[in-house]
Chain A
Amino acid sequence: MENEILDDHHTDGIAVNYDLRKVLFKLINNSKFLGITYLFVASIYAILLLKQFVNSDFLGIFIGVMLAILLFLLYYVLFHFLNTAANKMKVALENEEQKDLDTALNNLRLYYKMKGIIIISILSLLVVVFAIFLFNN
């Protein structure tokens, strides 16, 4: 009866009820886990990339450092969006703050958008490299 009343009251949107709240808390944990994984991977890839350029000349080291920073930044942006989304969602659910919930979901949207853009950019770059390779041969 109580649930019916709660559902009927929100005719303008979907209410964040107990079940959804539980799933959102799981989402918070998994977002944090994925975010930390991105940071970990970013550090490892950056170190491995720097290791490749360590024995080269000044220009080589400069290019290596730049590539490592770029790679780290790409992963860091993904981590940042996920971490902000998780933190804001936690605050929103604990303090019933609608504004924080919107910010959290907006950060999730930005995460998806960034990921899509990164994937499209990498694939385009690969296609260009492949085309150059084909035309040169």
Chain B
Amino acid sequence: MESTANTKVKQPLLNIGQHTENILLSTGKWSKIISIILLALSVIYFLSLMIDVFSSYSRYNSNFYSTSGGNKNVLLRIIFRKLPELITGAIVLSIYLYMFALYNKFARRIKLALSNKDQRELLVAVKSMSVLFLVQATLICVSVTLMLLLMFVI
């Protein structure tokens, strides 16, 4: 009897009730949509990079065959020549994929947490949202600083 009385006094006042659950589910849904868009963008970006490399390869190769009979290392040479672009592309692609992973993780975990009433899953979901905000803010700061540096200093 005494313990029941203690529980009533010590219970946390805040909780994720039905109304809050609906809000969080909607947030998860939008997070999923953004993650799918990011995945599509990263696939398009990867394909455009590959198309760029292979179009240069086929152009260079056809010219080369017409003059000197061909070279097996043409693709390697083109990759080496386009290395700065490819490295930049790989960095951008990894950022896109990382953001996709964070958005997707939040959407998946929040759905799991609310369907199973799992405290740990909710904790992971909120953590991933927090990390996502931090990563986004850092990326924005870095990119804007680089842009301003390129514009006014270099």
A residues whose Cβ falls under 8 Å from a Cβ of B: 2, 5-7, 9-10, 12-17, 19-20, 23-24, 26-27, 30-31, 33-34, 37-38, 40-41, 44, 82, 92-93, 96-98, 101-102, 105-106, 108-109, 112-113, 115-116, 119-120, 123
Q: Which residue of A lies closest to B41 (CB)?
A: A123
Beyond A27-B129, A113-B26, 6 additional contacts (C-beta under 8 Å) are A13-B21, A14-B16, A14-B114, A16-B14, A27-B126, A109-B23
Whether a CB of chain A sits under 8 angstroms from the CB of B133 is yes
Provide the residues of chain A in CB contact with B118, threshold 8 Å: 14
Give the CA-CA distance A97 to B126 in the complex, in Å.
Answer: 19
Provide the residues of chain B in CB contact with A96, threshold 8 Å: 12-14
Q: Are A13 and B27 neighbours in the complex by a CB distance under 8 Å?
A: no
| Cross-chain contact of B10 among A2, A13, A38, A93 (Cβ < 8 A) | A2
Q: Are B11 and A9 neighbours in the complex by a CB distance under 8 Å?
A: yes
Secondary structure dominating the interface of B:
helix
Give the CA-CA distance A21 to B5 in the complex, in Å.
Answer: 24
Q: Are A17 and B12 neighbours in the complex by a CB distance under 8 Å?
A: yes
Of residues 130 to 154 in B, which have CB atoms within 8 Å of A's CB atoms? Answer: 130-131, 133-134, 136-137, 140-141, 144, 148
Q: Are A20 and B123 neighbours in the complex by a CB distance under 8 Å?
A: yes
Give the CA-CA distance A41 to B144 in the complex, in Å.
Answer: 7
Which of B31-39, B66-74, B76-84 lines the interface with chain A? B31-39
Provide the residues of chain A in CB contact with B37, threshold 8 Å: 116, 119-120, 123
Whether a CB of chain A sits under 8 angstroms from the CB of B113 is yes
| Cross-chain contact of A12 among B17, B27, B113, B129 (Cβ < 8 A) | B17
| Cross-chain contact of B137 among A34, A97, A102 (Cβ < 8 A) | A34
Provide the residues of chain A in CB contact with B7, threshold 8 Å: 5-6, 9
